[in-house]
Amino acid sequence: MDFSFDARTTELVEVLNDFMDDHVLPAEEVFDSQLAALDDRFAWTRTPVVADLQAEARRRGLWNLFLPVGVDPDGIGGGLTNLQYAPLAEISGRSGNLGPAAMNCAAPDTGNMEVLHHFGSPEQKEKWLTPLLEGRIRSGFAMTEPAVASSDATNVETSIVRDGDHYVVNGHKWWTTGAMNPDCAIFIVMGKTDPEASRHRQQSMILVPRDTPGVEVVRPLHVFGYDDHEHGGHAELRFTDVRVPVDHLVGEEGTGFAIAQARLGPGRIHHCMRSIGVAERAVELMCRRVSSRVAFGRPLSQQGVIREWIAESRVEIEQLRLLVLKTAWLMDTVGNRGAHTEIQAIKIATPRVVQRILDRAIQAHGAGGVSQDFPLAMMSAGIRTLRLADGPDEVHKNSLAKAELARHA
């Protein structure tokens, strides 16, 4: 057992820290104003600053690092293990809107690229994976539906019906993140090809270009008042008799559930890694704030209750980070399936703790904390959604407990 980073990680951490300090953090304000100046507030990829940051990231070798070396025979990623990537994802999360995007490591594209990489046909890869890896287009993942509890995949109502050499897609989705951005070119859509099949063989994934007739981007959904246009928003989508050629199916019919599972594991750990970066930034902001504000004759930093918040936050972060790192190591050594329980554990543990840390940081900032003058409220809203994304925590807890009970049976 060894808790030190290897040389490659240490080096990349330094490179990335420099990149964040010199380029990303100073760009936050620029990005906001460039975005505000656009005609389409969701077209964040069209701000000059994003292009500049991406160019700089590529120059520094910080591009597409998310794809783990073990499952990357073509070497299109950065050649890193999950464990090597984890601290980098954390650091990028300190600037949640720009850090991951600059490195082409932002959700949901990372997950979508993984799906195409693992399950896509050569033609699908050429048409969609290549431009995604080059950051030329963006993508969406359309799984959740407004009409049903979508954490239970058998509830999915979208239909994918074969009609000659086409599939016809009909359905109603929402929370397709990034899809309000006009540069979002392709959707991976989950639907049922065979409602009569066994529970986990009914679903399939299919590629639907955003400009296909019958695809309607209905509206942006809000998250605690935010439309999240900084990364393309979250779209409600309607698919009405949408026809795509049969070669648009990802993998074979009936593999949709398996693909979703394969996609969500890495997605969850990436979210957790970045969330820890959010927590670190919150602690940093909190410490600075309380050191500079004076009430009743002394800095807030000398108040015992404030100190308790800081101490608790540090203790919580240290534990979370180690569990996330161990999970990454397990994914590298025994595979995503072998790390199943740990992936669930970090999915359960991380967002709520980071939400609590953010809440403390907000409180320490006074009314400013809930406003646009600090990033805390926006980060809090984003983190809150992670307790629901990819299935509410309660589903995962139930499943984790079942496994634990079985161990002691």
Please tell me whether residue 218 binds a copy of itself under the rule CB under 8 A: no
Q: Choose between 140 and 251: whose C-beta lies nearer to a copy of itself.
A: 140
Please tell me whether residue 17 binds a copy of itself under the rule CB under 8 A: no
- 3-class secondary structure, 240: strand
**From the CB of 49, what's the least distance to a copy of itself, in Å?**
22
**From the CB of 220, what's the least distance to a copy of itself, in Å?**
9
**From the CB of 30, what's the least distance to a copy of itself, in Å?**
19
Find residue 360's DSSP bridge partners. none
Please tell me whether residue 223 binds a copy of itself under the rule CB under 8 A: yes
Please tell me whether residue 37 binds a copy of itself under the rule CB under 8 A: no
Closest CA to 90 of 16, 158, 150: 16
Over the window 60 to 99, marking each residue x when it contacts a copy of itself by CB under 8 A and - when it does not, the resulting string is -----------------------x----------------
Please tell me whether residue 300 binds a copy of itself under the rule CB under 8 A: yes
Residue labelled with tokens 């209750």:
305
- 3-class secondary structure, 297: coil
Q: Choose between 79 and 368: whose C-beta lies nearer to a copy of itself.
A: 368
Q: What gap in Å lies between CA 165 and CA 50, rounded to an integer?
A: 40
**What residues from 323 to 382 belong to the interface with a copy of itself (CB under 8 A)?**
323, 325-326, 329-330, 333, 341-342, 345, 348-349, 362-363, 366-373, 377-378, 380-381
Q: Which two tokens stand for residue 142?
A: 């359309």
Q: Choose between 58 and 384: whose C-beta lies nearer to a copy of itself.
A: 384
Task: Enumerate residues 6+ apart whose C-beta is below 8 A from 66.
Answer: 77, 78, 85, 89, 105, 110, 113, 114, 266, 270
Q: What gap in Å lies between CA 354 and CA 387, rounded to an integer?
A: 11
Backbone φ and ψ for 260, nearest 5 degrees, come out as -60, -45
**What residues from 258 to 287 belong to the interface with a copy of itself (CB under 8 A)?**
283-284, 287
**What residues from 108 to 137 belong to the interface with a copy of itself (CB under 8 A)?**
none
- 3-class secondary structure, 266: helix
